[in-house]
A and B are shown apart, each in its own frame.
Chain A
Amino acid sequence: KNQVEQSPQSLIILEGKNCTLQCNYTVSPFSNLRWYKQDTGRGPVSLTIMTFSENTKSNGRYTATLDADTKQSSLHITASQLSDSASYICVVPDYGGATNKLIFGTGTLLAVQP
């Protein structure tokens, strides 16, 4: 069964500190991997989309890495801000079927405290 698992489930850090969120997936065949940020009460917003050939991709203070061999991805947040408090969701398309479903991880809930 194609799955996406994330860790940790939740994380609390102090403002200004860095953190790294993990994503493991078993989806095959693999097309791309996405990281979304979901603020409380809002819909998810795309942060990055990484294809098979990309190892690292940055979007401001967010840097995503991808190891397609081990089927792992990470999202590193540098110099965290209070506004980074949100749920971060790892998403991989279910490319193998006739549909175009995205498989969502359960997310890492990040709380940045002053």
Chain B
Amino acid sequence: GAGVSQSPSNKVTEKGKDVELRCDPISGHTALYWYRQSLGQGLEFLIYFQGNSAPDKSGLPSDRFSAERTGGSVSTLTIQRTQQEDSAVYLCASSLAPSGRSTDTQYFGPGTRLTVL
């Protein structure tokens, strides 16, 4: 594909509902990241997938957050029982290799803006 895509672009939900956010990384990219960007804040790491390895979930803020990556490609971030503080832009990024220990560029999707009423 041309780049990282995310859907939906916007999501408005009621407090207590579950939401699923989708990320389609660039084809062939083995590393996939989820970040959260709250208003006026820097991007906050949530979870990282690398190939078939166990994901790094150390950034997930609570057990209401979970993510999967099926077949090493598409990823879904699920937020259960949403709270108002979950309102943010959720960004997905992918790279050819793990971006920390190399200079491989992370390519970001446009994000999903989540609003919890």
Report the bound CA distance from A89 to B111 in whole Å.
16
Tell whether, in the assembled complex, residue A99 and residue B108 are in contact, meaning their CB atoms are under 8 Å apart.
no
Tell whether, in the assembled complex, residue A41 and residue B110 are in contact, meaning their CB atoms are under 8 Å apart.
yes
Query: Is B84 located at the chain interface by the 8 A CB criterion?
Result: no
Which residue of the partner chain, among B98, B103, B108, contacts A51 with CB atoms under 8 Å? B103
Query: Is A45 located at the chain interface by the 8 A CB criterion?
Result: yes
Tell whether, in the assembled complex, residue B45 and residue A101 are in contact, meaning their CB atoms are under 8 Å apart.
yes
A-B contact count (CB 8 A): 69
Query: Is A95 located at the chain interface by the 8 A CB criterion?
Result: yes
Number of interface residues of B (CB under 8 A): 29
Known: A89-B43, A106-B40. A99 touches B101 (CB 8 A): no
Interface hits, A14-73 → B, CB 8 Å: 31-32, 34, 41-46, 49, 51
Q: Which residue of B lies closest to A50 (CB)?
A: B103
Across the interface, which residues of A come within 8 angstroms of B111, CB to CB?
Answer: 41-43
Tell whether, in the assembled complex, residue B42 and residue A100 are in contact, meaning their CB atoms are under 8 Å apart.
no
Across the interface, which residues of B come within 8 angstroms of A12, CB to CB?
Answer: none
Tell whether, in the assembled complex, residue B42 and residue A43 are in contact, meaning their CB atoms are under 8 Å apart.
no
Across the interface, which residues of A come within 8 angstroms of B41, CB to CB?
Answer: 106
Tell whether, in the assembled complex, residue A104 and residue B105 are in contact, meaning their CB atoms are under 8 Å apart.
no
Tell whether, in the assembled complex, residue B100 and residue A101 are in contact, meaning their CB atoms are under 8 Å apart.
yes
Q: Which residues of B contact A (CB under 8 A)?
A: 4, 31, 33, 35, 40-45, 48, 50, 56, 58-59, 91, 93, 98-101, 103, 105-111
Please, could you name 9 A-B residue pairs with CB atoms under 8 Å apart, sorted by A? A42-B111, A49-B103, A89-B42, A95-B100, A99-B58, A99-B100, A101-B45, A101-B59, A102-B100
